[in-house]
A and B are shown apart, each in its own frame.
Chain A
Amino acid sequence: MHFRRYWAGMLCVTLAGALALGALAGCAKKAAPAAPPAPSKAEVATYVNNSEIIVFWDPSESGSNEIIALNNIYETLLYYNSGTGECDPVLATSFQVSPDGKTWTFDIRKGVKFHCGHAMDANAVKYSIERTKNGGKGASWLWDPVEAISVLDPYKVEFKLKFSSPLDVALAAGYGAHIMCPVCTEAKGHDYLLQGHAFGTGPYMIESWKQAEQELVLTRFPDYWRGWQGKHFDKVVFKTVPEAATRRQILEAGQADFTEMLPYEMVKAMEGNPKIHIEVTPSYQNMLGLINTQKGALKDKRVRQAICYAVPYSDIIQHVMYGYAEQSKGVIPHGLWGHDENLFQYSLDLDKARALLKEAGYGNGGLNLVMTYVAGDENERRAGELVKAKLAELGINLEVRGMPWEAQWDLAKAPKPEDRQDIFVFYWWPDNANPQSYLSRVFMWQEPIHFNLSYYKNPAFDALVQEGIEWAGADRARTIECYRKAQEMIIEDAAAIFFFDQSYVRPMRASFKGFKDNPAYPNVVFFYNTYREGE
């Protein structure tokens, strides 16, 4: 009897708890749509990223994800317009270049203020570029060709170069080229910047920064030189959500305007949602499988060609990339100057692969190869597993090994080529709108090896690329011709599997307007140009 009362009590407590939870949940459902009432009608844009928002706060050291936010806080002299292939004026109003391509003069915009209130002038330009160059960190190598910078008058600055080089493109780079206030940067110092401060000229300035949660809130800079007429956002929020499912949920619930790096399965699932717009733009990013040209059977060009013939390119593009990619033609991607539509393309042809292997003495296969990729990258993993299945048909056993980037990198640098991987899968993209790095940093011989992880050594190739680099500032047509011949060599030598040129797939709210993808500024949203319409 007493037990019963005890139990009744317990039961009541439990039931009450359950009811309360249920009630809570019920309210939650009702409360949810009413939850985001804009605070006093301030328009807030939210960008949700999959990894850290900010690694390097100091623009002189920047070279990572922070370009997304920093390009809204800082500005550069020029902006690379991917539509026209020209550099448009930003903090510089115009520029002149000497016929030998070695002297560049820039007119600096007047009436521009930094967030701290100081005026931006030629001195600030000289200071910022020299600070980055001398710091030797991040993208400081952009300024390797620069011999000297001189201030001709408060609004005119001159760059002297060691050799002809497209300096306009470098000054438009997404990182390493930002102009910062010399007075405040000097006075407050590097450590102050690291705590989440910035002295830029950009349209937005920092309101708050939460390191642990990676949440950055920017707010309008009232004195921005372009002014605030027309429609703009008042605040911009950047935050990190590594879980793709959560990013999608936030976007669909209207709590974010823009996200990236969603798995393609999810993108496909969102295509029918009228509230979501998916912007697809060809990027400059391509996926390469660098083949170790100095190891065992792979020293034989025919074996490497056989591998290139055993890659199911269309399956990868259709089923791994869900059509958001295009098979590469050579190493310079579609849409970047220097790309050539007439280059040879390998296709899946197992008979040809078998014939080549037989010729090379591996008719029965019997090879064990290791392909490394960055652990966690699903596109690389799935592509690798599709290749593995095809190579198995040729009697080649491919181990598809996901590794942390550093470990993948270290294995590639093992002292003996035999100890290194056979195929190194990674992405390449240019640091500015210049195709040079696809050839020079990935395939030119380096001592010691840096990014040439095919260990490709071909003096004729190196000479062609070098010639191309030296003419890039003065005669671009000649450079393009050099790059075409150079690409023919690496394709013939099958120094790499040229998988695909990737498209940027940007899911965003349909009401989020004004965004234009620019592959020269990967993943960057210039929020000043965006606004909300509808919803």
Chain B
Amino acid sequence: MQRFITRRLALTLLVLWGTATIAFVLARVVPSDPAARWVGPRATLEQVEQARKELGLDQPLYVQYYRYMRGLLRGDWGVSIRTHQPVIQDMLGHLPASLELVLASMILALLVGIPLGVASAIKKDRAVDHLGRVLSIGAVSLPPFWLAMILQLVFFKWLGLLPLGRRLETAVRLAHPLREITGLYSLDALVTGNWPVLWDSLLHLALPAVTLASYTIGVVTRMTRSSLLEVLNEDYIRAARSYGLPERVVVLRYALKNAIAPTVTVLALCLAYSLVGTFVIEAVFAWPGLGYYMAQSVIAVDYTAIIGCTVLVAAAYALLNLGVDIVHALLDPRISLG
């Protein structure tokens, strides 16, 4: 067991180092001059040269790499070429918005995906199951950026019910100042009892969360269905049935409890996937999260920010995977520890 975890940890470290290196190499071969961006389009040549020195871009690439890696370890991830702020600070500023969005979409996915999956499994090969199949495959086939725009068309333009984007109306924020604790506006508003802001933030959250949740809903539905089907065929379920336990009890109390583990696993992976999903969605909803920051950085060829975001997301991805593996290994000793 210990050997497995050590090995898995070592692998995660390798992955982190690898992603940072790949990101550095890719971002630094960009055929573009960060120094020119740094000083702005109307700068003189001398200003560009001076910026090159200040940014250390006049050094050989391996020196830059060494400095960058050293900085990464020390928590100095460089300064954004676009915003002129430390990348770490920028990312921390954008992180709460993304977390709020991702968490909301996860909750939504569970609320919709699990019942739908259960329904499909119980009514296998019946209309509900077919419908569930179409819905879940449809959900993972939707281009998220397009779904976002369609939702905007329907709920903003045609029905006039929900706002187009951003997290809060400025008027609401000014009228009811929000004491920020976590930076997740809806949560902070709930905790501090700031109802107008809570309401406004939920309105703003609705469309982006649904968009982001669509993929996860599809995955959760499929996973719940297939693992529940498997469990329902197990001996102990048959035994429970033969004891005459009500089917509802059998399904909800016995089968679902055992079938839920793979769903939770897949949910953890979806969480990581959603972090990337925000890249295309946040841009459409002007949602000032990490994905929005990344998209802006890519457009501006802001290489320090690109590397920073890449490393952060890849790290989150790797750590979630690590967590899932370790939990699995702890729960299920049959898993091969190789």
Q: Check whether chain A touches chain B (CB < 8 angstroms).
A: yes
Interface set, chain A 204-252, CB cutoff 8 A to B: 211-215, 217, 235, 237, 239, 241-243, 245-246, 249
B247 touches A29 (CB 8 A): no
- Does A13 count as interface, using CB distance less than 8 angstroms? yes
Measured CB to CB, the nearest residue on chain A to B122 is A3
- Does A137 count as interface, using CB distance less than 8 angstroms? yes
A-B contact count (CB 8 A): 145
Q: Which listed residue (A10, A37, A243) contacts B164, Cβ 8 A?
A: A243
- Does B192 count as interface, using CB distance less than 8 angstroms? no
- Report B-chain residues with C-beta under 8 Å of the C-beta of A198: none
Q: Which listed residue (A6, A35, A63) contacts B169, Cβ 8 A?
A: A35
A239 and B44 in contact, given A25-B161, A407-B31 (Cβ under 8 angstroms) = no
B175 touches A37 (CB 8 A): yes
- Report B-chain residues with C-beta under 8 Å of the C-beta of A56: 84
Q: From B21-29, B89-97, B225-233, give the one contacting chain A.
A: B89-97
A29 touches B41 (CB 8 A): no
Q: Output the residue of A31, A136, A255, A406 with the most chain B CB within 10 A.
A: A406
- Does B251 count as interface, using CB distance less than 8 angstroms? yes
How many residues does chain A have at the interface if contact means C-beta atoms less than 8 Å apart? 60
A450 and B299 in contact, given A35-B171, A212-B288 (Cβ under 8 angstroms) = no
A241 touches B286 (CB 8 A): yes
A10 touches B119 (CB 8 A): yes
- How long is the Cα–Cα vector from A5 to B122 in the complex, in angstroms? 13
Q: Which listed residue (B41, B90, B248) contacts A5, Cβ 8 A?
A: B248
- Does B242 count as interface, using CB distance less than 8 angstroms? no
B83 touches A246 (CB 8 A): no
Shortest A426–chain B CB gap in Å is: 9
Query: What are the interface flags for A59-86 relative to B under an 8 Å C-beta threshold, 1 for contact and 0 otherwise?
Result: 0000110000000000000000000000
Interface set, chain B 279-323, CB cutoff 8 A to A: 283-286, 288, 293, 296, 299-301
- Does B65 count as interface, using CB distance less than 8 angstroms? no
- Does A108 count as interface, using CB distance less than 8 angstroms? no
- Does A28 count as interface, using CB distance less than 8 angstroms? yes
- Does B174 count as interface, using CB distance less than 8 angstroms? yes
- How long is the Cα–Cα vector from A405 to B174 in the complex, in angstroms? 37
A36 touches B299 (CB 8 A): no
Q: Which listed residue (B32, B97, B248) contacts A404, Cβ 8 A?
A: B32
- Does A44 count as interface, using CB distance less than 8 angstroms? yes
A28 touches B37 (CB 8 A): no
A28 touches B97 (CB 8 A): no
- How long is the Cα–Cα vector from A38 to B175 in the complex, in angstroms? 7
Q: From B45-53, B213-221, B270-278, give the one contacting chain A.
A: B45-53
Shortest A270–chain B CB gap in Å is: 14
- How long is the Cα–Cα vector from A299 to B115 in the complex, in angstroms? 71
- Report A-chain residues with C-beta under 8 Å of the C-beta of B163: 249
Q: Output the residue of B37, B40, B301 with the most chain A CB within 10 A.
A: B40
- Does B152 count as interface, using CB distance less than 8 angstroms? yes
- Report B-chain residues with C-beta under 8 Å of the C-beta of A5: 248
- How long is the Cα–Cα vector from A14 to B115 in the complex, in angstroms? 9
B171 touches A407 (CB 8 A): no
Shortest A67–chain B CB gap in Å is: 12
A410 touches B94 (CB 8 A): no
Shortest A325–chain B CB gap in Å is: 21
- How long is the Cα–Cα vector from A410 to B155 in the complex, in angstroms? 44
A25 touches B171 (CB 8 A): no
Measured CB to CB, the nearest residue on chain A to B30 is A407
- Does A375 count as interface, using CB distance less than 8 angstroms? yes
A448 touches B33 (CB 8 A): no
- Report A-chain residues with C-beta under 8 Å of the C-beta of B36: 406, 409-410
- Does A55 count as interface, using CB distance less than 8 angstroms? yes
A36 touches B169 (CB 8 A): yes
- Does B172 count as interface, using CB distance less than 8 angstroms? yes
- Does A2 count as interface, using CB distance less than 8 angstroms? yes
- Report A-chain residues with C-beta under 8 Å of the C-beta of B164: 243, 245-246, 249
- How long is the Cα–Cα vector from A379 to B47 in the complex, in angstroms? 30
A246 and B166 in contact, given A10-B119, A55-B83, A406-B37 (Cβ under 8 angstroms) = yes
- How long is the Cα–Cα vector from A38 to B170 in the complex, in angstroms? 11
Shortest B67–chain A CB gap in Å is: 21
- Report B-chain residues with C-beta under 8 Å of the C-beta of A44: 171, 174
Query: What are the interface flags for A371-398 relative to B under an 8 Å C-beta threshold, 1 for contact and 0 otherwise?
Result: 0000110000000000000000000000
- Does B133 count as interface, using CB distance less than 8 angstroms? no
- How long is the Cα–Cα vector from A5 to B34 in the complex, in angstroms? 64
B39 touches A246 (CB 8 A): no
Interface set, chain B 214-257, CB cutoff 8 A to A: 246-248, 251-252
A246 touches B165 (CB 8 A): yes
A63 and B43 in contact, given A28-B203, A246-B286 (Cβ under 8 angstroms) = yes
A211 and B246 in contact, given A255-B169, A410-B36 (Cβ under 8 angstroms) = no
- How long is the Cα–Cα vector from A243 to B287 in the complex, in angstroms? 10
Q: Which listed residue (B44, B84, B172, B301) contacts A406, Cβ 8 A?
A: B301
Measured CB to CB, the nearest residue on chain B to A429 is B42
- Report A-chain residues with C-beta under 8 Å of the C-beta of B167: 213
Shortest B211–chain A CB gap in Å is: 14
The 14 listed contacts between A and B (C-beta, < 8 Å) are: A3-B122, A6-B252, A10-B119, A35-B200, A36-B172, A55-B84, A136-B50, A139-B42, A212-B93, A235-B174, A255-B169, A409-B33, A409-B36, A450-B45
A213-B167, A376-B299 known, 4 other contacts, Cβ within 8 Å: A6-B247, A39-B171, A214-B288, A242-B296
Give 7 nearest A-B pairs by CB, closest first.
Answer: A212-B93, A36-B171, A406-B32, A25-B161, A246-B165, A39-B175, A6-B248
